[in-house]
Amino acid sequence: MRATFHLKTLTVAIAAFSVASVASAAGLDRSGQDVTAFFQDGVYAEAVYTYIDADVSGRDNAFNGDSNTRFEEGNKTGDIAEDYDFFRYGAKADINDTFSVGIIYDEPFGAAAEYTGDSNFTGSPTVAIDNLIGDRVTPLVPNVTNAQELSNYVNELPGNLATARAGVTQLQGALQNTTDPAIQAQLRGQITTLQTTIARGEAALPTLTAFDNYAEAQLANTQTTKVEVRSQSLTGLLGAKFGANKEFQIYGGPVAQRIEAQVRLRGSAYDLATGYTSNSNPDMDYGWIAGMSYSKPEIALKAALTYRSEIDHNIDITETYPLAGLLAGDLAAATQTNDYEITTPKSVNFDFQTGINPTTLATAKVRWVPWGDFAITPPLYNEVSKNNPLYEDDGLNLVEYEDDQWQVELGLAKRLAPALAVSGSIGWDSGAGDPTTSLGPVDGYYSVGLGAKYNVTENWAVSAGGKYLWFGDAQGALPTGKIVVDAEDNDGFILGAKLSYQAKQGF
């Protein structure tokens, strides 16, 4: 006969897991959208703080050619990942022995990355500008192959045209003063040659001046590549228990979600997109959550399957894309404000725990997020990309992922004393594909974690925990597929702290 493990004896151990237990490297996933606070008994409330310090660095691509897949080790990027923190708050109460209500605040999606080293992601985009001049200007003026030569040519061209016009005037005067047919024919030929040169120069001058101004503006931009995405989510929950012993529960409710983002692309790595900047204003939209749980208190068993819907955001975005002004011949065209949609992904979470003996608890978490369906497609960025014949039908996304994310975490908690428990965990995150976006070159992780909880009083407790992450090696690519960074041997750590309150309810 199996022993009975009353839930009360494991109360300390249960909550030791929920500090720093989830922090995802795939896509924009951050909090893991945990709802386990809703499954606690009685009246329950918690406040959780999580801090992430990731070290993600690599080498840029020194290869400057047409191949998207060829990679030659270049300069160090420095630490790309910025420190990141977020909060989670949760509260629930039982209305009676059937119905429960709860509310959870978290910050589900986010990103914080900046290239600060001396690499192709920072400083003057010399290679990108010289490549543009080679593609667009050199066919018009064969002796111009880089930005400096273009600047010299444009500066000298008005004077050269003035000299040519004066030469035409001089030759026309000489033509009028001679009656020799041979000399007249020679002078007419020289006049025609100079006039042709003048016409070509005058026709090319606006285009060459526009390219020169564009090149000078971009080469003067010494900022870094940087991205920041922030989100907040508020989830309302109503649960109803059923079954002979109220062992089953269905639950669900509305979700309000707010998201905002800022992106700037700099350096030669982004080729003609260098100088691109966007600001996506905060937008609030709504979705829903639903799930079902099962519990068997005598062995401290709880299992829950939770589904969250997609949420469609219609966002106001201001984009500055210097290439757009060059292509349109109008500087004003480089900055536009539009609406566009971002759909944050649906997800499925499975949470499980069971007692092994009266003082030991085992847990498991599984999470699935279909990042392969997610994309960020700013309107101006997408429209400019259509100027490339390869992408003229649909254009390019700014951010996209190849694969869906799977995350698994297994843990064990042990009550050492009536008020103290410790826990340990191991985890795996599949990542969202390799190559991935250059704004986050990480392909999942492996992790180990430790946590502890101390009951200060019968109702109040504090918890603390940490986790060490080994990030998967990944190459970062542009939306065109060109590999621009290779990140290897990276790691990070997570620290968390929680204050919780729990009290019985009698019905």
Which domain, by its residues, includes 309?
Answer: 7-125+221-503
Residues 294 and 383 in one domain: yes
The verdict on 296 and 435 lying in the same domain is yes
Q: Is the pTM of this model over 0.75?
A: yes
Is residue 141 over pLDDT 90? no
Q: Is the pLDDT of residue 109 over 70?
A: yes
* Residue 179: inside a domain: yes
State whether 158 and 297 are in the same domain: no
Whether 139 and 233 map to the same domain: the answer is no
Same domain (yes/no): 101, 207: no
Q: Is 155 a residue whose pLDDT tops 70? A: yes
3-state DSSP of 55-87: ECCEEEECCCCCCCCCCCEEEECCCCECCEEEE
| pLDDT value of position 18 | 52
pLDDT of residue 406: 94
As a whole number of angstroms, the distance between CA 10 and CA 358 comes to 7
Q: Residue 38 domain-assigned? A: yes
Could you tell me if 152 and 79 lie in one domain? no
Q: What is the structure's pLDDT at 9?
A: 47
Q: Which of 220, 236, 269 is the last residue of a domain?
A: 220
| The pLDDT of residue 313 is above 50 | yes
CATH of the domain at 455: 2.40.160.60
Q: What is the token pair recorded at 258?
A: 């707010």
Which helix or strand (DSSP H or E) is residue 114 part of? strand 111-114
Do 369 and 468 fall into the same domain? yes
- Mean pLDDT, rounded, for 472-488: 91
- Of 220, 244, 273, which marks where a domain is finished? 220
466 and 369 within one domain: yes
Determine the Cα–Cα distance for residues 239 and 292; give it in Å rounded to an integer: 9
Q: How far apart are CA 90 and CA 438, in angstroms?
A: 35
Instruction: Single out the residue in 195, 220, 245 at which a domain terminates.
Output: 220
| Strand 420-429, strand 405-417: pairing | antiparallel
Residue 382 pLDDT more than 90? Answer: yes
Residue 2 lies in a domain: no
Same domain, 193 and 173: yes
Span 433-444, pLDDT tens digits: 888 888 888 898
State the total domains in the chain. Answer: 2
Looking at the fold, whether 18 and 147 belong to one and the same domain comes out as no
Mean pLDDT of the chain: 89
Segment 460-470 mean pLDDT: 92
Residue 337 lies in a domain: yes
- pLDDT of 12 > 60? The answer is no
Is the same domain home to 255 and 106? yes
174 inside domain: yes
1 occurs within a structural domain:
no
Mean pLDDT computed over 355-377: 92
Give yes or no for residue 15 having a pLDDT over 50.
no
Q: Which pLDDT band, with edges at 50, 70 and 90, does 388 fall under?
A: confident
Domain contains 303: yes
Phi/psi at 274 (nearest 5 deg)?
-60, 140
Q: DSSP labels for 240-267?
A: EEESTTS-EEEEEEEEEEEEEEEEE--S
Mean predicted confidence (pLDDT) in 395-419: 91
**pLDDT tens figures, 318-335:** 999 999 988 888 888 999
Q: Which residue has the higher pLDDT, 47 or 18?
A: 47
Q: Is residue 398 part of a domain?
A: yes
Of all residues in the chain, the percent with pLDDT exceeding 90 is: 57
Residues 13 and 100 in one domain: yes
Half-sphere exposure of 483 (CA within 13 A, CB side): 20
